[in-house]
Amino acid sequence: IAEETMLVYAPIAHRLGIAALKKYLEDLSFKYLLPSEYQKIDEYIKSHKESFVLKLNEFVDTVEILLRQNGLRDFEIKGRIKHYYSIYLKMQRKGITIEEVLDLLAIRIIVKEKLECYESFGIIHLNFRPLISRFKDYISVPKENGYQTLHTTIFAKNKIIEVQIRTFDMHKN
């Protein structure tokens, strides 16, 4: 059932743009297909969770202040820790350890208009040091499944955080 879910149902959820369901199905299948790898990631995330949550909350607060100081009013910021199967895939693809995964922590900034996505991006890059090779513009060039978001990765107080920026409409789809 886990193999079938990983090969059939998670990709269907992805095609339909239901990311939350895709991630849930992948993590659940991963737990049964590769239990020792799942356990290692689970132990690492659980042992660092408090630190991760503190870093994310501090960063979200800082970004919220910066956006408001620069005239943005109607936005949401959500923080997240990368899901387990995605961590595992990145480790396998790049031949790295979990400590070397750069986007374990991420925030998503959700704004009203496309132009505000680029304004937010500018504010982020003016206030934090970006990893230039880690910028992707899926708004001007959407993915095949219609996914649209700006992605960048920045250094903030000795931590690396991925920042995703999209509109409320993009977030619904």
How confident is residue 157, by pLDDT bands cut at 50, 70 and 90? confident
Mean pLDDT of 98-103: 86
Q: What is the pLDDT of residue 31?
A: 97
pLDDT at 72 over 80: yes
Q: What is the pLDDT of residue 165?
A: 97
Mean pLDDT of 60-68: 96
Strand 150-156 to 136-137 pairing: antiparallel
- What is the Cα–Cα distance from 121 to 136, expressed in whole angstroms? 11
Which percentage of the chain shows pLDDT scores above 70? 99
Q: What is the pLDDT of residue 102?
A: 78
pLDDT in tens, 117-148: 999 999 999 999 998 888 999 999 998 878 89
Mean pLDDT of 155-161: 86
Strand 150-156 to 129-130 pairing: antiparallel
How confident is residue 173, by pLDDT bands cut at 50, 70 and 90? low
pLDDT at 150 over 70: yes
How many Å from the N-terminal Cα to the C-terminal Cα in the chain? 28
DSSP letter string, the chain:
-HHHIIIIIHHHHHHTT-HHHHHHHHHHHHHHHSHHHHHHHHHHHHHHHHHHHHHHHHHHHHHHHHHHHTT--SEEEEEEE--HHHHHHHHHHHT--GGG-TTSEEEEEEESSHHHHHHHHHHHHHHSEE-GGG-EETTTS--TT----EEEEEEETTEEEEEEEEEHHHHH-
Mean pLDDT of 87-92: 95
Q: What is the pLDDT of residue 18?
A: 86
